[in-house]
Amino acid sequence: MAFSRVSAWSPPVLCVLGVALLIGGGCSGMWGGKRKTERSSSVVNYLYPGEANPLPPTEVPVLRLPLRVGIAFVPSGNTRAYYQDAAITEVQKTALMERVAVEFKGRDYIQSIEVVPTSYLRPAGGFTNLDQVRGLLGVDVIALVAYDQVQFTNENILSLAYWTIVGAYIFHGNKNDTDTLMEAAVYDIASRHLLFRAPGASHVEAGAAAAYMEQRKRADGAKGFELATDDMIKNLKTQLEAFRERVKTAPAGTVARIERKPGYTGGGSFGGGFIVAGLLLWGVRWWRRRS
């Protein structure tokens, strides 16, 4: 009975139904399913391209204070996007590097911090490229910032509303997870020595309607970089202090040799030790005179 009723549908009706299914399926394929977008750059790939076992530098770095520091994003040579997306833009990179630079300006042992545009670095440029940057910009030490950002997109129950077309603009049927890991590796260019490194990480979760998903992903990506930069700045400060402490406590010249550029500032001062020793002497003199 039912079959006879279906078979009774006219060919135009069946065509309309078929087209609707095709469109719906296409939309579902376009909006639905799990997706992963990954963007990354690597300090190792940049500095040691094609080297399986890079040899560690043998000479002790000589840091001539005050230092001229460069900060640069390592060029990305490894962008894999299942759903091609705009990577972090040059403007975003510059803004993030400026934020890092501001945090470290005003320290007396840092003469200047130069934000190095990515265009100065070429993929897999290695230390030869860094020597060029050193010559061009006159930096002694460079902080190379690498990143790895992975974005996962999943659908939830609300994505069923996408079948209505209008629902794709209204209901947040997609959930984006953005994991960002950044790392700043600070190198003395002349000695090719890694002085210290500091990581920064962030996790961002957000929902989005299908029609605005790419917009949402870009916003999440930018927020991920912002939060990871905050974390990295915090860790950079800690690592910088730890490095200074290592230079201070390690036997002379084992971690780094500190030298002064011509034109340093000098001062003379008496410390607490001198005053205490003087007071002790005075006390002994007073006691002896009394007795």
Partner 1 sequence: MVAVGVFLVPAWAPTLLYDRAGIVRGEWWRLWSGHLVHFGPAHLAWNLAVLLPAGLWAERIAASRTRLLLALAPPAMAIVLLIGLPDLARYGGLSGLASALLAFLACTQLGRAKGDSWFWWSVLGLLLGKIGAEISSVHPLFARFATDDVRPVPLAHAAGLGVAVLMALPRSHA
Residues that bind partner 1 (CB under 8 A): 65-66, 107-109, 244, 247-248, 252, 258, 260, 262-272, 274-275, 277-278, 281-282, 284-285, 288-289
Q: How far is the CB of 72 from partner 1 (least distance, A)?
A: 25
Alpha carbons 81 and 99: distance in angstroms, whole number: 28
Q: Which residues contact 130 (CB under 8 A, 6 or more apart)?
A: 47, 142, 187, 189
Residue 239 Cβ vs partner 1, minimum distance, rounded to whole Å:
17
- CA distances from residue 151 to 38, 40, 89, 132, 208 in whole angstroms, order as listed: 6, 12, 17, 35, 13
> Minimum distance from CB of 70 to partner 1 (Å)?
20
Task: State in angstroms the smallest separation of the CB of 222 from partner 1.
Answer: 35
Task: Using the minimum distance from each CB to partner 1, give the nearer residue, 66 or 75.
Answer: 66
Nearer to partner 1, 11 or 263 (CB): 263
- Sign of the four-CA dihedral 231, 247, 265, 191: negative
> Which of 224, 210, 139 lies closest to 181 in space, CA to CA?
224
Instruction: Name the token pair of 136.
Output: 């061009």
Q: Which is nearer to partner 1, 99 or 246 (CB)?
A: 246
**Comparison of 169 and 286: residue with beta carbon closer to partner 1:** 286
